[in-house]
């Protein structure tokens, strides 16, 4: 009886770690769809690219932070978090050193 219980627990643990990456991939796709809808409502005239962090390679980063790069803002990246309920929140932004002194119209700040 004890061996069966131990085997069952071990099987559940192995199954969790085998299927977890696929579950995260599924959730990321769902959250990307929600973020796309949010951005279309909020910025109807903008174009952007949405990417996700490779959670299999970079396990230390939150896989649910979706990176958005707007076509009108080269060098800038914005990370958004989408909750399971569909609430969207910008969690951070960054700019590469080549573009950090630009204002909104693409000209350098003086």
**pLDDT tens digits along 26-35:** 999 999 999 9
**If pLDDT is split at 50, 70 and 90, which confidence band does 109 have?**
very low
Decide if 103 is inside a domain.
no
Decide if 105 is inside a domain.
no
Decide if 54 is inside a domain.
yes
Decide if 69 is inside a domain.
yes
Buried b (16+ CB within 10 A) or exposed e, 60-86: eeebbebbbeeeebeebbbbbbbeeee
Say what percent of the chain tops pLDDT 90: 70
> What domain range is 63 assigned to?
2-95
Decide if 24 is inside a domain.
yes
CA 18 to chain centroid, in Å, comes to: 21
Overall number of domains in the chain: 1
**If pLDDT is split at 50, 70 and 90, which confidence band does 105 have?**
low
Decide if 61 is inside a domain.
yes
Are 49 and 35 a contacting pair, CB within 8 Å?
no
Are 76 and 93 a contacting pair, CB within 8 Å?
yes
Decide if 110 is inside a domain.
no
Answer whether residue 106 shows pLDDT above 80.
no
- Each residue's pLDDT tens digit, 15-68: 999 999 999 999 999 999 999 999 999 999 999 999 999 988 888 888 999 999
């Amino acid at each position: 009886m004890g061996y069966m219980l131990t085997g069952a627990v071990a099987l559940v643990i192995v199954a969790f770690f085998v299927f977890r990456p696929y579950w995260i991939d599924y959730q990321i796709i769902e959250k990307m769809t929600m973020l796309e809808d949010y951005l279309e409502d909020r910025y109807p005239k903008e174009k952007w690219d949405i990417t996700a962090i490779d959670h299999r390679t970079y396990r230390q980063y939150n896989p649910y932070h979706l990176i958005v790069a707007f076509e009108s803002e080269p060098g800038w990246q914005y990370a958004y978090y989408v909750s399971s309920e569909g609430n969207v929140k910008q969690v951070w932004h960054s700019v590469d050193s080549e573009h950090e002194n630009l204002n909104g119209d693409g000209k350098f700040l003086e």
